[in-house]
């Protein structure tokens, strides 16, 4: 049997085990245990921080750059519209069905197989495999916990369903809690200042608001008001109106810059970010990995969806088997040939790759 065939069959077997093991965000303990066992079986020492599991291919050589292979083992909860058991890995017509099969189990097993293969021969870099937790909720006990314990990373592959095309840019996320203030009064009389009316004026301005800098790969920063609340009862003019703004940021602005600009342009609005840590990311098309992707006929693109890249303060690219459109959907599946293709392409793109130390 061809070595890559062995990797493929081992990967699909492991994926079936992961599908059978519920691993909703923050409940990935058993899935992490399975990944640890797979690493041990292949001769690697697994390490854990919470439900994050990783292994080093070899002892770290400080003179070499370090490459991280990462994907996540957590899933969203299955929706009620599934027509099959989401935890039963049934294969039909070359499709392997199951929750997390596409997002991102196929990437996990393909990257682990790639790690096993590349570790067999000397590489011009240190190599680390990491299966992370809480990605779907950007949780505090996710990849950040593992990165605290890893050596400095110079480049990362983030496995997510992209059809094995490299997402060299990814939008970040900023959630803003906003409020306008007025003065309470009786609704039957001409008194008070209606904070709700003030909020609707602000929301209309936000609907048309545009940041001047436009990203080559990600386009414009996108603002969407998604929630609003005001008033305590029908006959009192509300003195406060709160609303939430979902901001999808680009590589042209940091989250901190976005907040400062909005606070300056809307001085009468209380604007409080829930977090500033989920920034946009970008990678130059001149990066050696991207150049290899181009030679392999793979086209770079900008991704509107968030991943663990947002928490990586080092160069990274998002690339993996499957399609983003299948993620978080009922009857999620991965085409088994996509796993084989991913293993072969990952190996081709990474074998003897030269990257710079940061």
* pLDDT for the residue 265: 98
Across 236-265, average pLDDT: 97
Asked whether the predicted pLDDT for residue 115 surpasses 60, the reply is yes
Asked whether the predicted pLDDT for residue 87 surpasses 80, the reply is yes
* pLDDT for the residue 26: 97
How do residues 123-176 score in pLDDT, each as one tens digit?
999 999 999 999 999 999 999 999 999 999 999 999 999 999 999 999 999 999
Across 235-256, average pLDDT: 96
* pLDDT for the residue 4: 73
Per-residue tokens: 176: 């803003």
* pLDDT for the residue 358: 84
Buried b (16+ CB within 10 A) or exposed e, 46-81: bbbbbbbbbbbbeeeeeebbbbbbbbbbbbbebeee
pTM passes above 0.85: yes
Q: Which long-range contacts (CB under 8 A, 24 or more apart) does 210-215 make?
A: 211/252, 211/253, 211/258, 211/261, 213/250, 213/252, 213/253, 214/250, 214/252, 215/169, 215/250, 215/251, 215/252, 215/280, 215/282, 215/302
Chain region(s) in the chain for CATH 3.40.630.10? 3-170+280-350
CATH topology for the 3-170+280-350 domain: Aminopeptidase (3.40.630)
Across 199-227, average pLDDT: 97
How do residues 169-197 score in pLDDT, each as one tens digit?
999 999 999 999 999 999 998 889 999 99
* pLDDT for the residue 2: 64
* pLDDT for the residue 355: 97
How do residues 25-75 score in pLDDT, each as one tens digit?
999 999 999 999 999 999 999 999 999 999 999 999 999 999 999 999 999
Q: Which CATH class is domain 172-273?
A: alpha beta
Asked whether the predicted pLDDT for residue 1 surpasses 60, the reply is no
Share of the chain above pLDDT 70, in %: 99
């Amino acid at each position: 049997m061809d070595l890559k065939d062995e990797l493929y069959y081992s990967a699909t077997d492991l994926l079936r085990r992961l599908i059978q093991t519920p691993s909703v965000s923050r409940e990935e303990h058993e899935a992490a245990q399975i990944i640890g066992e797979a690493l041990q079986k292949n001769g690697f020492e697994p390490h854990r921080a919470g439900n994050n599991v990783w292994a080093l291919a070899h002892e770290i050589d400080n003179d070499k750059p370090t490459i991280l292979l990462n994907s996540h083992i957590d899933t969203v909860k299955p929706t009620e519209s599934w027509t099959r058991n989401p935890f039963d890995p049934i294969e039909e017509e070359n499709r392997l069905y199951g929750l997390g099969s596409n997002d991102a189990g196929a990437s996990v097993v393909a990257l682990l197989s790639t790690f096993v293969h590349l570790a067999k021969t000397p590489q011009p870099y240190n190599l680390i495999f990491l299966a992370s937790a809480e990605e779907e909720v950007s949780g505090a006990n996710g990849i950040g916990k593992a990165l605290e314990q890893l050596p400095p990373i110079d480049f990362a592959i983030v496995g997510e369903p992209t059809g094995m095309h490299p997402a060299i840019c990814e939008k970040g996320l900023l959630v803003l809690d906003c409020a306008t203030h007025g003065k309470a009064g009786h609704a039957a009389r001409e008194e008070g200042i209606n904070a709700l009316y003030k909020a609707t004026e602000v929301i209309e301005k936000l609907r048309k608001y545009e940041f001047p800098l436009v990203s080559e790969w990600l386009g414009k920063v996108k603002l969407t008001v998604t929630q609003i609340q005001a008033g305590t009862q029908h006959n009192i003019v509300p003195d406060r109106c709160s609303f939430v703004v979902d901001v999808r940021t680009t590589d042209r602005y940091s989250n901190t810059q976005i907040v400062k600009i909005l606070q300056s342009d809307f001085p009468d609005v209380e604007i409080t970010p829930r977090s500033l840590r989920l920034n946009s990311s970008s990678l130059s098309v001149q990066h050696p990995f991207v150049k290899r992707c181009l030679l392999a006929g793979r086209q770079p693109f900008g991704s509107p969806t968030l991943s663990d890249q947002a928490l990586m303060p080092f160069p990274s690219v998002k690339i993996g088997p499957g399609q983003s459109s299948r993620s978080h959907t009922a009857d999620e599946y991965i085409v088994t040939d996509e796993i084989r293709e991913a293993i072969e392409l990952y190996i081709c793109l990474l074998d003897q790759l030269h990257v710079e130390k940061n």
